[in-house]
Structure 1
Amino acid sequence: MFVSDVASIPVIQLEGPGIIKAAKQSLIGPAQGWDGWSMRLFTLSEGGQTPRHSHPWPHINYVVGGRGTLFLGGKEHPIQAGSIAYIPGGEEHQFMNVSGEDFSFICIVPAEADK
């Protein structure tokens, strides 16, 4: 069993090619008893983005705040709080903040993908 609050989870500022103003919090995973899976919260500040990339694992996303664009399937899709997305493994994708506020989304992946 695990009960906590997002405010108590460490925030990791991400760095690397194509990453701009992005932070990650690893909310629930094997360490909290969810074997095989990890739920993370990503926050992109104004002008922030993830790199355009692909990887072998799928992920499930739920937008919790703000507005953004998801590049997926060769197209840009507007997304906002309440939007959901499934990204198959191997599919090129990118999240971009297009608003003047934080853009936050939950991302669920296999545990080995949360490095």
Structure 2
Amino acid sequence: MHVAGWKDVEGMAVTEAGADGVTIRVLMGENVGAPNFTLRHFEVAPGGHTPFHAHAWEHEVFVLSGKGKVKRKDGETEVGPGSFVFVPRDEEHAFANASSETFSFLCAIPATKVCLR
């Protein structure tokens, strides 16, 4: 068993092309010996966004704080604390901050995948 606080995990700037103002923390994955899933914490600064991208695995997202927009090929949806988002494999998507406060969310992916570094 591994127990820790999310602030104990070093945040890293997402440097992937198309990302701006995004910090990621890998809370649970290889770092704690989790064999099946990776749970990440994202913070998106005001005006920030992840790149518009797609990949061959799903995402499960839970919004913790702030207001954001989930962008997809055919539009966008506003989300806030308590919202959850399922992004199917191969669906183009991006997350953007829609307010003047930090937008934060948890995102789970299969353990063997790497997304947004």
Sort the TM-score into its range (normalised by shorter chain): over 0.9
Q: Partner letter of residue 51 of structure 1?
A: P
Where do 5+ consecutive residues of structure 1 fail to align?
A: none
Q: TM-score, normalised by structure 1?
A: 0.94
Match for residue 112 of structure 1? 112
Please identify, of 31-40 and 62-71, the stretch whose mean Cα deviation from structure 2 is larger. 31-40
Q: Partner letter of residue 98 of structure 2?
A: V
Measured in 1, the distance between the counterparts of 2:82 and 2:97 equals: 15
Aligned residues: 115
Q: 1:67–1:81: 8 Å Cα contact kept in structure 2?
A: yes
Q: Partner letter of residue 93 of structure 1?
A: H
Match for residue 50 of structure 1? 50
Match runs of 1:87-98 below 5 Å:
87-98=87-98
Measured in 2, the distance between the counterparts of 1:35 and 1:18 equals: 30
Q: Does residue 27 in structure 1 map to residue 27 in structure 2?
A: yes
DSSP-derived class of the 1:99 partner: coil
CA-CA distance at 1:73 after TM superposition: 5.3
Match for residue 101 of structure 2? 101
DSSP-derived class of the 2:4 partner: coil
Match for residue 11 of structure 1? 11
Instruction: Give 4+ residue runs of structure 1 displaced > 2 Å after superposition.
Output: none
* Identity among equivalent pairs (%): 31
